Chains A and B, each alone.
Chain A
């Protein structure tokens, strides 16, 4: 715990408080005040907390990141932006934590569907925001959530009404440009009964040390189907915290694809609560090079019977990078007939790379099918020989297999344009000879 850092942030808070959205809403003001107090008392999470034992955020504490008070999108390179912004989507672009109407695209949105900035939502649909905000992300979970609640400057708000199926994905493009900047954003995605939506979160930044602290709350209604993609390609010097907290109603389906590529230190939370017969699929790929530290923390709460969860996280760690996977599946006493499978596979490419993996099953019901598996290893020698016997030299074979290991997760992406962007990111991080993009 570092409360000195916390009080520095608390002092800073006074300058930004007047420009934070929703200041006119007493409930939000109270919620923010409560969150600020919780954060001030605690500081950022400490490795002494069980859920943070492998990830030390003291690097964040040493700096004082400053929020930007307004939109500053002037000098963005449009070519660079284009390499991340997907065509044929509705998009909300946040630059340094503020909505840019100019860069976003919200044309031809069906009149019944809401896709807007959080600041907008707090003006146009405050009751709806009040109903959902903070109900999936538990402030007492850890202080990043409190930090986010106190400081969020904007975000994405999505509401898809009953039976509405979106024919285009929604992209949240989250960009940070400033040095020592901080972008604190809060997102809410609501899919009512039988609705369908695909949302893509893209986190990128200019080559600077900055802090992203984003929280996304997802509410999947009964029989609704939500797919959430997250691609985190923050700058090499950046700190990233991104939490996704999901509440699934009866028979709801939720799929998450988490691509964790960037940042000096990055942590993702994906926590889902499952109701009766709901289905949850969590996929993840983390690639670490140099001295990156990439932590993925997942939790699947089977609260009611007959729910199904599938989880596959893969990691590739090279150089002195460190990966962390903590996956917890909790099966409540009422959650009979739960069917759950969790897997974590890691490839270590260097002697100095490290992975800490901790799968946990907590089962309180007695009639369930739950399994988990973890592997940490090098490339399979049999596969290398097979490729060699097909004319491929050893080094290329190794690169090909490394790529293939990661590509299994990339191939799960159903949106072509996103698939290509993620593929580029994977290839850029393992630039060795061996994978000829033209042949893929």
Chain B
């Protein structure tokens, strides 16, 4: 689904990613772990098309297409979804309006007619129940005045309704208490499917207790320094990031 080859990315003159290679197939869950400043967030931003980054070398191919050439909204319509570490508050735009705008953009992109108003409402209300959210959230402004947990739940709600193919989750566990973490994880787990892939960017192992990854990659100084199965996350938790960083320095 996504093939990243030798990806180099700079911010200004400063290289952040220095040759990332990653193959992600449909149905897989990949966890990208790493210490602060390793380039984790840069990777998720570059894949979703945020401005301010320069790709100096390498490629990212999504479903056979050059991902890096696409505008952010085209990536989103093609099925790439970024769950933000810090979801943005948008006063004046209601949640349900944005959901409708987003869903209809995807449908238009795929040559389908606008969603029927009643069908849409049924769909949205189903997903709201799934995430144990109050229906009132739909009519409130996007993320405005939401708690940290509510914002993250709202991201998962959007994901559940837009049904993306590739979900990039940037530090989804940050700022979540244990109850919110459970609900968010259950939401993500319910979206697991053979057609859908997840990239979970996280600093801590804790999220991976709830969402079991197939692969764990450790990012340090802009490179993937170690890859392995779910066990690698546990090993990291025990030994700390200095363990892989030291290994890299020794190599």
Contacts and interface: CB of A to CB of B under 8 A. Distances in A.
Interface of A: 380-383, 385-394, 396, 400-401, 403-408, 411, 436, 439-440
A382 B88 contact: yes
A420 B77 CA distance: 32
A122 to B, nearest CB: 44
Instruction: Give me the 9 closest cross-chain CB pairs, A-B, nearest first.
Output: A404-B92, A391-B105, A388-B72, A386-B88, A407-B92, A391-B76, A391-B102, A390-B102, A404-B93
Contact of A391 (B84, B97, B101): B101
B59 interface: no
Contact of B97 (A388, A396, A439): A439
Interface residues of B, number: 33
B71 A390 contact: no
Contact of A381 (B48, B51, B141): B51
Contacts of B102: 390-392
Nearest to B91: A408
Given A391-B106, A393-B73, A439-B100, A400 B93 contact: yes
Interface of B: 48-51, 71-73, 75-77, 81-82, 84, 87-88, 90-94, 96-98, 100-103, 105-106, 109, 141, 158, 162
A391 B75 CA distance: 8
Main secondary structure of the interface of B (DSSP, over half): helix
Contacts of B50: 385, 389
Contacts of B106: 391
Given A391-B162, A392-B101, A392-B102, A385 B92 contact: no
B226 to A, nearest CB: 29
Main secondary structure of the interface of A (DSSP, over half): helix
B92 A387 contact: no
B121 to A, nearest CB: 12
Given A389-B49, A391-B101, A408-B92, 4 more contacts: A383-B90, A391-B162, A392-B98, A411-B92
Nearest to B108: A391
Contacts of A407: 92-93
B92 A406 contact: yes
A392 B73 contact: yes
B104 to A, nearest CB: 8
A210 B109 CA distance: 49
B97 A440 contact: yes
A385 B98 contact: no
B92 A389 contact: no
B101 A404 contact: no
Contacts of B109: 391
18 contacts: A385-B50, A385-B88, A388-B72, A388-B76, A389-B81, A390-B76, A390-B98, A390-B158, A391-B76, A391-B105, A392-B73, A392-B98, A393-B71, A393-B73, A394-B71, A394-B73, A401-B93, A404-B141
